[in-house]
Structure 1
Amino acid sequence: MSAPYILVLFYSRNGSTSEMARQIARGIEQGGLEARLRTVPAISAECEAVAPAIPDEGAMYASLDDLKNCSGLALGSPTRFGNMAAPLKYFLDGTSNLWLTGALVGKPAGVFTSTASLHGGQESTLLSMLLPLMHHGMLVTGLPYSESALLHTTAGGTPYGPSHHAGADGKRGLDEHEIALCRALGQRLATIARKLESNRG
């Protein structure tokens, strides 16, 4: 049996969500677990893959086994009209077998997003991303207000999960509060997953 890991599963178009994923992965590792970064391929309007079979750079594409065998999940997407991007939704729509077998029941999960505008639907996107995870029986972990960055941020950050204001050109980097909240989610997921794993043993 492989060592326990948290799956950081994301879709990123311009790199902001990918950078959030890396910061969350750092938090997971600070929390004592392996972080497994995975992405999903872009799709066309006809829901067909339009990306290469293997990514040219960055994280590998996720498999259902990556999801099935994880000890926890961080799920990230840019906002598309207040909802997750189609490629990520397309991947999640293909997880029916995991639902039928209860493979994800009782595992901790959190969500994260990035938007071009400050009020571009961050919270509605995060909430919509939680819905399929709740159907899978996962344990939702947000960010408590004991995370001081939530009280001081002037850009991204919500109790539903980390968020980032990337700017209209998508080039605004993560600020110190956004980074702190990404890492906090990673640590939180790792801590909870480790406790749950020890209880199963």
Structure 2
Amino acid sequence: MQEILVLYYSHRGSVRALAEMIAQGIDSVPGAAARLRTVPRISAVCEATEPDIPSTGAPYAETQDLEECIGLALGSPTRFGNMAAPMKYFLDNTAGPWLSGALAGKPACVFTSTASQHGGQESTLLSMMTPLLHHGMLLVGLPFSEPDLTRTRSGGSPYGATHWAGKDDNIQLTDEEKRLATALGKRLAETALKLHAR
């Protein structure tokens, strides 16, 4: 069984919900298994720390998770059209895999959630792609052959899976958002297995 890392940061739960749907898509592909991981919250206050093990959800990611998996799904909420600081902090500390080329040639996809419908979903997805390209990863998106991309009235982008949480932080994904996230996970897993077999 080949593992694909689903690495996310979720503040209120929407990105975690997307991560779980992407993991379902990965797990639906024979020979592939999702490895869910998160990153700790960070603070500008030096004394503020997170526990070594999260109280709920996925364990914290380690560099080894990146090296061991054959693909990566990366998710973060939007912060002013960019990825959230905890995810950026984690990626900023991946010089080891970058120097060794551990991620080069592996496929990756990205996903996000915003409170406002036009709150920078696509720019956030693009901001997450940049470090992945520096690592030499191959990006997987959602083609318009996925009918839900043209049907959705909430989240969904050819750049990656998205969710529109609204001002009330609704973590309930729409049916279209669920299907798009699952389809993205499936595409990532299928691509990863093909590349790994070469």
Q: Please give the range of the TM-score, normalised by the shorter of the 2 chains.
A: over 0.9
Aligned 8 A contact 2:141 2:158 in 1: yes
Q: Deviations over 1:7-34 (max 9, x none)?
A: 0000000000000000000000112210
Which position in structure 2 is the counterpart of 1:29?
27
Whether the 8 Å contact between 1:6 and 1:190 is mirrored in structure 2 is yes
- 2 CA distance for matches of 1:137 and 1:47? 33
Change over 3 Å in CA distance of 1:183–1:51 after alignment to 2: same
Equivalences for residues 61-100 of structure 1 within 5 A = 61-100=60-99
Q: Distance in 1 between matches of 2:177 and 2:27?
A: 18
Distance 2:48 2:60 in 1: 12
SS in structure 2 opposite 1:191?
Answer: helix
What letter is aligned with 1:70? C
Distance (whole Å) between structure 1 residues aligned to residue 83 and residue 167 of structure 2: 18
Is contact 2:160-2:184 (8 Å) kept? Answer: yes
Answer yes or no: is the 8 Å Cα contact 2:8–2:76 preserved in 1.
yes
CA deviation vs aligned residue, 1:71-118 (integer Å, no higher than 9, x gap): 000000000000000000000000001111100000000000000010
**Per-residue deviation, 1:145:** 0.4
Match of 1:40 in 2: 39
Structure 2 residue runs without a partner (length 5+): none
Conserved 8 A contact 2:7-2:37? yes
Give, as a single letter, the amino acid of the residue that structure 1 aligns with 2:120.
Answer: G
Q: For residue 40 of structure 1, report the CA deviation from its aligned partner.
A: 0.3
Query: Residue deviations 1:116-146, cap 9 Å, x none?
Result: 0100100000000000000000000011001
**Aligned partners of 1:8 and 1:25 also within 8 Å:** yes
Contact 1:8 1:35 in 2 (8 A): yes
Letter in 2 for 1:90: Y
Match of 1:16 in 2: 14
Q: TM-score, normalised by structure 1?
A: 0.95
TM-score normalised to the size of structure 2? 0.97
**Separation (CA, whole Å) in 2 of partners of 1:49 and 1:10:** 21
In structure 2, what is the equivalent of residue 178 of structure 1?
A: 177
